[in-house]
Amino acid sequence: GENVEQHPSTLSVQEGDSAVIKCTYSDSASNYFPWYKQELGKRPQLIIDIRSNVGEKKDQRIAVTLNKTAKHFSLHITETQPEDSAVYFCAASLMFSGGYNKLIFGAGTRLAVHP
């Protein structure tokens, strides 16, 4: 079945540096790739997403890139700040018969931004 691998599992950076989290997926039919941020003790929240007809999307300090040929997508955070510290999850949407799309999540990356 569909599998999403996420790396690294933990990432530590200095404030102001960039952070990159990478995910690979197995099903070439996947067509929607959201990223979620989960702060300690809180719910996952959608921060950015990309669809398969787009190669890159940016929102202020956050960007996501997609390489459909290689079946991987990445989250880029520039000028990191301590409030970026959280667990980040990638997901890939797998199409099932009947039009139902299921989100398959990666295992998460714990990002720590040190002042």
Partner 1 sequence: EAQVTQNPRYLITVTGKKLTVTCSQNMNHEYMSWYRQDPGLGLRQIYYSMNVEVTDKGDVPEGYKVSRKEKRNFPLILESPSPNQTSLYFCASSSGGGTGGAFFGQGTRLTVV
Residues lying near partner 1 in the complex (CB under 8 A):
6, 9, 31-32, 34, 42-46, 49, 89, 93, 98-103, 105-108
- Bridge partner list, 57: 64
Rounded CA-CA distance 37/43 in Å is 8
Smallest separation, CB 102 to partner 1 (Å): 6
Smallest separation, CB 101 to partner 1 (Å): 4
Smallest separation, CB 34 to partner 1 (Å): 7
Rounded CA-CA distance 101/29 in Å is 11
Q: Which is nearer to partner 1, 40 or 70 (CB)?
A: 40
Q: Which is nearer to partner 1, 63 or 104 (CB)?
A: 104
Nearest one of 69, 99, 102, 80 to 11, comparing CA atoms? 80
Rounded CA-CA distance 102/16 in Å is 35
